[in-house]
Amino acid sequence: MSDIKDTSTFQGKIHDLDEAVGKKILVLEDDVAMATSVRVRLEAAGYEVECVSDGVEGIKKVMENDYAVILCDMVMPNLSGDMFYVAVERVKPYLCRRFLFMTGYKGDRKVEEFIQRVNGLILWKPFESDDLMEAIQAVESKGPD
């Protein structure tokens, strides 16, 4: 006799994993601990994850691949999140619908104005794993283009 009383949660996890398989996510984050945490959570959900530490590296990746989601820190060395977005907008504008921004600078007028201007989604650091997954699903629900 099995100790498992409710398998719906387990079956839901399998369904979520099936939908995520093969979907690529680009993570731009210069904080190694944060990038690792995000990578581990997304890979556990079945996503293929590539992490870079600045916008310049991010541009190289965007030129090579398309992504289901681009998770972008707003404050990074060499090329900030808003400037990275502008660069992507010029080379692959269809990817702009796939951005999910993150920052610890809540209340920063420049960040908030940018997010409003591009009608972007933002996660305020620190965020919970469930918040990350809900935000990823919100980006994916926008559709591919």
Predicted local distance difference test score (pLDDT) of residue 20: 57
pLDDT band at 107 (very low <50, low <70, confident <90, very high): confident
Q: Among all chains, which residue has been given the structure tokens 């660069």?
A: 87
Predicted local distance difference test score (pLDDT) of residue 142: 82
CB 42 within 8 A of CB 25: yes
Give the integer Cα–Cα distance in Å for 140 and 97.
9
With respect to CATH, is domain 20-141 assigned 3.90.79.10? no
Sketch the domain layout of the chain as residue ranges: 20-141
Q: In sequence order, which residues have a C-beta less than 8 Å from that of residue 136 and are 6 or more positions away?
A: 25, 42, 47, 69, 71, 100
- Tens digit of pLDDT for each residue in 6-56? 333 333 443 344 455 569 999 999 999 999 999 999 999 999 999 999 999
Q: Among all chains, which residue has been given the structure tokens 């995520």?
A: 20
Task: Give the HSE-up count for residue 21: Cα atoms under 13 Å, Cβ half-sphere.
Answer: 5
Q: What is the pTM of this model?
A: 0.83
Instruction: Give the residue from 78, 96, 65 showing the smallest Cα distance to 30.
Output: 78
- Tens digit of pLDDT for each residue in 55-72? 999 999 999 999 999 999
Predicted local distance difference test score (pLDDT) of residue 1: 38
